């Protein structure tokens, strides 16, 4: 592209420079032009005309030849001079065919017309610098000529001076006394007067050269000095017109006007001047037309004024004349050219180059912009790419991080899965195997080992009370401690499982006989002999163990578990703390817990519950002191049910609250009635479950029962098991205190089986201690130690408590207790718990036997 532009530029430059040179036409036979000047070379008027002629001819396309002659008529206006010129030209041009004769001013035209036929082969004549009067004189009846008239215009010049200085008054006209001087001067005088008759018009043709200068130096500001044809002084001497003009200008207080342009550059201000050069140019154009074939006679003489308002810039400055005062189309010479005027062409070229450069620049800028845009786009793309790259890197990092996370998660998953596996098969509290383990792993073992072994179902006795009374925290700790102990029995063939709550299972795979199983059950029990120290509590725990043998009692976990559970319930029914083997008879005897729950309410409304009463005998007198109310349930569906079979279920279901209140109320009403009838003061002991005691309105219930039955509070004793008292919250203790204040007695039941802390009992206002049958049984056992029983009685008495021995069956036991000052005894020795009718018979019998 740049290359193309450079070539274009070069072509344009070549075109511009070549246009400077005229293209010459092909050379044919040259045309001859003779220029005859009236005056001499160096006379500016003449030189200007010549220069104008040459300039017009220069554009001629044909081949021509110019000869120039000077008649020197200004300096030598003589016949001799003319004759010499004649001779000279005759010798020069008699053999040359002239095509056009050009004459400047009158003398030359006169000469040419006179000798044209003789010397210049009758060539057509073109003149200039001749006025109409002069032409009329010279041409007479001549033809075949044409030319440019020289029309002086003093009128315009005077008017211009008037415009510059409207106060113009005096007009001084300078001319010589030659023929042409006088005629010119007269023309100016007439013209000035014609313009305004107020003008003082004064000719200075009678003054000497220095006189004129002297005169002019003294004119006032409202004067106009007009120089016309002044070449000869009053003495007839030729004068240097230019030097004269300069001298005049130097001494004049006003600008000097002129009629001809040759005064310019010599101190003359200007005027509507005849321009010699224009005269020449016009004449040159006419010559051109003739040379190109036109007839001179057919070309009209140009009478149009070849004048031009021309003023000298320097003089304008000198007299402080504003340009605006000059006529409109004035030409100002010597004006310092503006740069454009001086170097117009150069300026155009430079301008063109500049424009070219600008276009170049614009193109370049366009391309630069395009490149910039592309660069920007590239850099934007690059940025985008970088960003993308960064994003990709980030994504890669993210992916890597995610991969690491995934790997970590995988490891974690493996850990979790093994943890889960552990969790799935283990109990969270104790860390022992759980029910799922039993059902999945043990089940599998059973199938594999052709099913030989035993399942031990272990249930803690009274654990519910521990939990309720001492709090779950302690319950949990106890379970953990029990687990730890039982783990001693765990081995590869003995799996210890916690089923949930207070239920544990041992599955032993290598037990082949009932004897071995019994041995193992004993081992389990042994671990419970030693009390547990949990959170500053000294707890004695017993367990009920049900045993199911494999394959005799079942060959899968479900059956074995169900049967062992049944066997365990048998232990509970028998008073807890022991073990029992499952057998098929047991199966029939066992109660359906669900049935019991459903039958409770119906049982109560259908009077299926009955209270049995067992007498308590005063050891010293054998008199009946009172009775313990013991509940029985005759269910048509389930048969006769001892309390151990349903009390715990009633507690679990909450039914004990209704049942307990019914027992309390029935017992109180009955004993009141009995006392009324027998005129006695029998006491009544009623067993109270912990669930009842925890009831908010328990005290109110008791009070209401006493009010309703009108039984004296002193005759009512509430039996609360040791475990309840020991772990009871302050609230329970408070309730007991309230009951005591009313006068109700409180007996601590089953004393010795649970948490033997007698010192603790000091804080609880109990009235009675009931020594558990276990201790009483020991009395008749020669191997056992009765120290504990002795200590209980002793300590109880020291605490002012009434001591009651439970389960007294033998005379031996009675004697021992009597000896050891046990206050009362209760047991089969005297009477089993009896229904009301039998009881009353018994009372009568007893009265008969003992007298009271
Ligand atoms: P407990 O309060 O320790 O009642 C004494 C238990 O020992 C009674 O069993 C009674 O029949 C039995 N017994 C009395 N003397 C002898 C004896 O010489 N030899 C033998 N082997 N046993 C004897 P029972 O009636 O089966 O009651 C068992 C447990 O059920 C009671 O133990 C008591 O904890 C609970 N219970 C009974 N009735 C009620 C009741 O109305 N309310 C509450 N909450 N629990 C009751
Ligand atoms: Ca009791
Ligand atoms: Ca008891």
User: H helices of 100-178, where?
Assistant: 105-119, 132-139, 154-164
Position 16 scores a pLDDT of 44
Position 633 scores a pLDDT of 93
**Burial label, 767 (beta-carbon count in 10 A; 0-12, 13-18, 19+):** middle
The answer, yes or no, to whether any atom of ligand 1 lies below 6 A from the CB of 749, is yes
HSE, side-chain direction, 13 A CA sphere, residue 420: 6
> Is pLDDT of 170 > 90?
yes
Ligand nearest to the CA of 776: 1
Looking at the CA of residue 829, tell me the nearest atom of ligand 1: 18
Stretch 369-389: mean pLDDT: 84
pLDDT category at 26 given cuts 50, 70, 90 is very low
CA 765 to ligand 2 centroid distance, Å = 18
If you count them, how many residues does the chain have?
852
Ligand nearest to the CA of 688: 1
Stretch 791-795: mean pLDDT: 85
Tell me which of 603, 609, 630, 810 to substitute to probe ligand 1's pocket, judged by most ligand atoms within 8 Å of the beta carbon: 630
pLDDT category at 537 given cuts 50, 70, 90 is confident
Three-state DSSP class for residue 542: coil
Stretch 340-365: mean pLDDT: 83
CA 821 to ligand 1 centroid distance, Å = 23
Looking at the CA of residue 719, tell me the nearest atom of ligand 1: 2
Share of the chain above pLDDT 90, in %: 57
pLDDT category at 284 given cuts 50, 70, 90 is very high
More confident position, 636 or 613? 613
Which of 381-390, 607-616, 674-683 is predicted least confidently?
A: 381-390
Stretch 160-185: mean pLDDT: 93
Which of 170-179, 401-410, 432-441, 725-734 is predicted least confidently?
A: 725-734
Q: Which residue is it, tokens 């065919």?
A: 97
pLDDT category at 390 given cuts 50, 70, 90 is confident
Question: Does residue 750 contact residue 781 with C-beta atoms inside 8 Å?
Answer: no
| Cα(608)–Cα(367) distance, integer angstroms | 115
The answer, yes or no, to whether any atom of ligand 1 lies below 6 A from the CB of 807, is yes
Position 8 scores a pLDDT of 47
Ligand nearest to the CA of 628: 2
CA 534 to ligand 1 centroid distance, Å = 29
Position 805 scores a pLDDT of 96
CA 632 to ligand 1 centroid distance, Å = 10
CA distances from 501 to 257, 467, 647 (A): 147, 10, 19
The answer, yes or no, to whether any atom of ligand 1 lies below 6 A from the CB of 263, is no
Structure tokens that stand for 696 in this block:
């908010």
Ligand nearest to the CA of 614: 1
| Cα(833)–Cα(202) distance, integer angstroms | 188
**Strand pairing partners for 100?**
33
Ligand nearest to the CA of 641: 1
Looking at the CA of residue 660, tell me the nearest atom of ligand 1: 42
CA 646 to ligand 3 centroid distance, Å = 16
Residue nearest to atom 3 of ligand 1 (CA): 750
Looking at the CA of residue 643, tell me the nearest atom of ligand 1: 30
The answer, yes or no, to whether any atom of ligand 1 lies below 6 A from the CB of 608, is no
Report which listed range, 222-231, 389-398, 639-648, is most confident. Answer: 222-231
More confident position, 421 or 333? 333
The answer, yes or no, to whether any atom of ligand 1 lies below 6 A from the CB of 631, is yes
Stretch 163-167: mean pLDDT: 94
* Strand bridging mode 639-641 / 624-635: antiparallel
Residue nearest to atom 6 of ligand 1 (CA): 807
CA 353 to ligand 1 centroid distance, Å = 135
pLDDT category at 24 given cuts 50, 70, 90 is very low
| Cα(388)–Cα(143) distance, integer angstroms | 102
Stretch 248-261: mean pLDDT: 94
Name the nearest CA neighbour of 92 among 125, 115, 69.
69
DSSP state of 641: E
The answer, yes or no, to whether any atom of ligand 1 lies below 6 A from the CB of 98, is no
Structure tokens that stand for 318 in this block:
């000198």
Stretch 196-201: mean pLDDT: 94
Report which listed range, 24-33, 443-452, 494-503, 622-631, is most confident. Answer: 622-631
Helix (H) or strand (E) holding 498: strand 494-500
> Is pLDDT of 17 > 70?
no
The answer, yes or no, to whether any atom of ligand 1 lies below 6 A from the CB of 615, is no
Position 28 scores a pLDDT of 59
What mean pLDDT value characterizes the chain? 87
Residue nearest to atom 4 of ligand 1 (CA): 630
DSSP state of 336: P
Residue nearest to atom 21 of ligand 1 (CA): 807
Position 62 scores a pLDDT of 87
The answer, yes or no, to whether any atom of ligand 1 lies below 6 A from the CB of 828, is yes
Ligand nearest to the CA of 643: 1
Position 29 scores a pLDDT of 77
Ligand nearest to the CA of 754: 3
Structure tokens that stand for 612 in this block:
């049995």
Structure tokens that stand for 34 in this block:
């003779």
Ligand nearest to the CA of 770: 3
More confident position, 278 or 510? 278
Stretch 369-394: mean pLDDT: 83
Looking at the CA of residue 612, tell me the nearest atom of ligand 1: 25
pTM of the model: 0.43
What tens digit of pLDDT does each residue of 553-591 get?
Answer: 998 898 899 899 889 988 887 778 899 999 877 665 555
> Is pLDDT of 714 > 80?
yes
Looking at the CA of residue 656, tell me the nearest atom of ligand 1: 44
> Is pLDDT of 42 > 80?
yes
The answer, yes or no, to whether any atom of ligand 1 lies below 6 A from the CB of 687, is yes
Looking at the CA of residue 630, tell me the nearest atom of ligand 1: 38
Residue nearest to atom 20 of ligand 1 (CA): 807
Strands (E), 690-730: 716-721
The answer, yes or no, to whether any atom of ligand 1 lies below 6 A from the CB of 809, is yes
Other Cβ atoms within 10 Å of 825 Cβ, number? 26
| Cα(200)–Cα(225) distance, integer angstroms | 12
Residue 736 neighbours by CB under 8 Å, 6+ apart? 720, 725, 746, 764, 765, 766
CA 750 to ligand 3 centroid distance, Å = 4
CA 749 to ligand 3 centroid distance, Å = 5
Looking at the CA of residue 770, tell me the nearest atom of ligand 1: 3
CA 538 to ligand 3 centroid distance, Å = 21
Looking at the CA of residue 808, tell me the nearest atom of ligand 1: 18
pLDDT category at 397 given cuts 50, 70, 90 is confident
Stretch 54-64: mean pLDDT: 90
The answer, yes or no, to whether any atom of ligand 1 lies below 6 A from the CB of 718, is no
Position 590 scores a pLDDT of 56
What tens digit of pLDDT does each residue of 481-518 get?
Answer: 999 999 999 998 899 999 988 999 999 988 889 999 99
Q: Give the dihedral sign, CA 654/656/657/659.
A: positive
b/e for 299-325, b at 16 or more Cβ within 10 A?
A: bebbeebbbbbbbbeebbeeeebeeee
Ligand nearest to the CA of 751: 3
Structure tokens that stand for 254 in this block:
């006003």
Residue nearest to atom 42 of ligand 1 (CA): 687
CA 687 to ligand 3 centroid distance, Å = 9
CA 607 to ligand 1 centroid distance, Å = 20
> Is pLDDT of 23 > 70?
no
End-to-end CA distance of the chain: 148
| Cα(454)–Cα(505) distance, integer angstroms | 10
Looking at the CA of residue 772, tell me the nearest atom of ligand 1: 3
The answer, yes or no, to whether any atom of ligand 1 lies below 6 A from the CB of 629, is yes
* Strand bridging mode 64-70 / 31-37: parallel
Residue nearest to atom 11 of ligand 1 (CA): 833
Report which listed range, 84-88, 372-376, 588-592, 748-752, is most confident. Answer: 84-88
Structure tokens that stand for 298 in this block:
């057919």
Ligand nearest to the CA of 750: 3
Residue nearest to atom 12 of ligand 1 (CA): 807
Residue nearest to atom 27 of ligand 1 (CA): 643
Position 75 scores a pLDDT of 84
Position 218 scores a pLDDT of 96
Share of the chain above pLDDT 70, in %: 91
| Cα(691)–Cα(578) distance, integer angstroms | 25
Residue 439 neighbours by CB under 8 Å, 6+ apart? 557, 558
Position 725 scores a pLDDT of 62
> Is pLDDT of 226 > 50?
yes
Stretch 44-50: mean pLDDT: 92
The answer, yes or no, to whether any atom of ligand 1 lies below 6 A from the CB of 614, is yes
> Is pLDDT of 452 > 90?
no
Structure tokens that stand for 136 in this block:
């009329």
Looking at the CA of residue 644, tell me the nearest atom of ligand 1: 30
| Cα(784)–Cα(246) distance, integer angstroms | 177
Q: How far is CA 807 from the centre of its chain?
A: 88
CA 476 to ligand 1 centroid distance, Å = 29
CA 242 to ligand 3 centroid distance, Å = 173
CA 678 to ligand 1 centroid distance, Å = 25
Which of 28-37, 274-283, 309-318 is predicted least confidently?
A: 28-37
The answer, yes or no, to whether any atom of ligand 1 lies below 6 A from the CB of 827, is yes
Position 753 scores a pLDDT of 65
Other Cβ atoms within 10 Å of 622 Cβ, number? 16
Tell me which of 687, 693, 779 to substitute to probe ligand 1's pocket, judged by most ligand atoms within 8 Å of the beta carbon: 687
Structure tokens that stand for 185 in this block:
């001067």
Question: Does residue 811 contact residue 829 with C-beta atoms inside 8 Å?
Answer: yes
């Amino acid at each position: 592209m740049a290359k193309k532009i450079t070539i274009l530029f070069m072509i344009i430059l070549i075109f511009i420079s070549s246009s400077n040179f005229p293209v010459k036409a092909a050379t044919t036979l040259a045309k001859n032009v003779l220029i005859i000047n009236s005056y001499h070379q160096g006379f500016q008027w003449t030189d200007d005309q010549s220069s104008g002629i040459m300039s017009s001819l220069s554009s001629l396309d044909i081949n021509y030849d110019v000869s120039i002659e000077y008649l020197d008529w200004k300096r030598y206006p003589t016949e001799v001079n003319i004759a010499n010129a004649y001779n000279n030209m005759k010798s020069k041009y008699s053999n040359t065919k002239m095509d056009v004769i050009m004459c400047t001013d009158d003398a030359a035209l006169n000469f040419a017309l006179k000798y044209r036929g003789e010397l210049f082969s009758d060539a057509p004549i073109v003149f200039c610098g001749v006025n109409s009067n002069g032409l009329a004189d010279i041409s007479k009846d001549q033809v075949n000529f044409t030319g440019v008239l020289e029309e002086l215009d003093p009128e315009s010049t005077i008017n211009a001076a008037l415009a510059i200085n409207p106060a113009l008054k005096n007009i001084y006209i300078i001319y010589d006394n030659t023929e042409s001087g006088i005629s010119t001067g007269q023309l100016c005088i007439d013209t000035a007067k014609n313009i305004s008759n107020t003008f003082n018009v004064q000719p200075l043709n009678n003054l000497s050269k220095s006189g004129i200068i002297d005169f002019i130096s003294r004119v006032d500001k409202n004067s106009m000095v007009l120089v016309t044809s002044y070449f000869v002084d009053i003495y007839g001497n030729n004068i240097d017109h230019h030097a004269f003009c300069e001298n005049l200008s130097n001494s004049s207080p006003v600008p000097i006007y002129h009629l001809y342009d040759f005064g310019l550059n010599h101190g003359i201000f200007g005027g509507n001047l005849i321009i010699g050069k224009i005269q020449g140019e016009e004449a040159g154009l006419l010559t051109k037309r003739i040379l190109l074939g036109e007839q001179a006679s057919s070309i009209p003489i140009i009478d149009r004024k070849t004048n031009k308002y021309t003023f000298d810039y320097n003089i304008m400055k000198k007299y402080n004349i504003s340009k605006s005062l000059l006529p409109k189309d004035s030409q100002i010479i010597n004006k310092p050219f503006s740069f454009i005027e001086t170097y117009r062409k150069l300026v155009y070229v430079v301008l063109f180059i500049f424009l070219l450069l600008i276009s170049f620049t614009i193109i370049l800028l366009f391309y630069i912009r395009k490149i910039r845009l592309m660069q920007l786009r590239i850099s934007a793309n690059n940025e985008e790419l970088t960003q993308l790259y960064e994003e990709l890197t980030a994504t890669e990092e993210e992916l890597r991080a995610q991969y690491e996370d995934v790997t970590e998660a995988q490891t974690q998953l493996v850990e979790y899965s093994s943890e889960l596996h552990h969790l799935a098969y283990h109990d969270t509290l104790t860390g022992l195997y759980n029910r799922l383990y039993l059902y999945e792993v043990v089940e599998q073992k059973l199938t594999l080992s052709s099913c030989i072994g035993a399942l031990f179902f272990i249930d803690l006795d009274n654990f519910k009370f521990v939990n309720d009374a001492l709090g779950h925290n302690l319950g949990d700790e106890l379970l953990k401690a029990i687990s730890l102990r039982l783990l001693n029995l765990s081995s590869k063939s003995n799996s210890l499982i916690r089923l949930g709550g207070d239920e544990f299972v041992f599955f032993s795979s290598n037990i082949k006989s009932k004897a071995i199983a019994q041995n193992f059950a004993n081992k389990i029990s042994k671990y419970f002999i030693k009390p547990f120290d949990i959170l500053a509590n000294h707890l004695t725990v017993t367990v009920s163990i049900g045993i199911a043998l494999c394959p005799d009692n079942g060959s899968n976990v479900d059956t074995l578990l169900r049967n062992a559970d049944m066997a365990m319930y048998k232990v509970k029914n028998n008073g807890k703390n022991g073990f029992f083997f499952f057998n098929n008879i047991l199966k029939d005897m066992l109660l359906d817990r669900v049935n019991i729950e459903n039958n409770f309410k119906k049982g109560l409304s259908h009077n299926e519950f009955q209270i049995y009463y067992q007498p308590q005998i005063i050891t010293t007198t054998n008199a009946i002191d009172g009775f313990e109310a013991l509940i029985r349930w005759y269910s048509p569906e389930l048969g006769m049910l001892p309390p151990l079979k349903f009390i715990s279920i009633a507690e679990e279901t909450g039914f004990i609250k209704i049942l307990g209140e019914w027992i309390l109320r029935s017992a109180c009403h009955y004993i009141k009635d009995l006392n009324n009838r027998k005129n006695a003061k029998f006491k009544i002991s009623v067993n109270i479950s912990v669930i009842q005691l925890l009831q908010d309105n328990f005290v109110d219930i008791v009070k209401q029962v006493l009010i309703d039955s009108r039984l004296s509070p002193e005759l009512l004793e509430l039996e609360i098991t040791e475990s309840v008292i020991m772990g009871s919250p302050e609230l329970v203790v408070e309730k007991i205190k309230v009951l005591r204040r009313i006068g109700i007695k409180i007996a601590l039941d089953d004393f010795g089986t649970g948490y033997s802390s007698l010192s603790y009992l000091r804080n609880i206002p109990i009235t009675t201690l009931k020594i558990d049958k276990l201790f009483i049984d020991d009395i008749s056992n020669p191997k056992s130690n009765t120290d504990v029983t002795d200590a209980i009685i002793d300590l109880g008495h020291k605490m002012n408590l009434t001591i009651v021995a439970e389960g007294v069956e033998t005379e031996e036991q009675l004697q021992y207790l009597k000896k050891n000052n046990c206050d009362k005894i209760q047991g089969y020795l005297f009477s089993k718990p009896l229904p009301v009718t039998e009881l009353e018979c018994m009372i009568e019998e007893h009265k008969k036997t003992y007298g009271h």
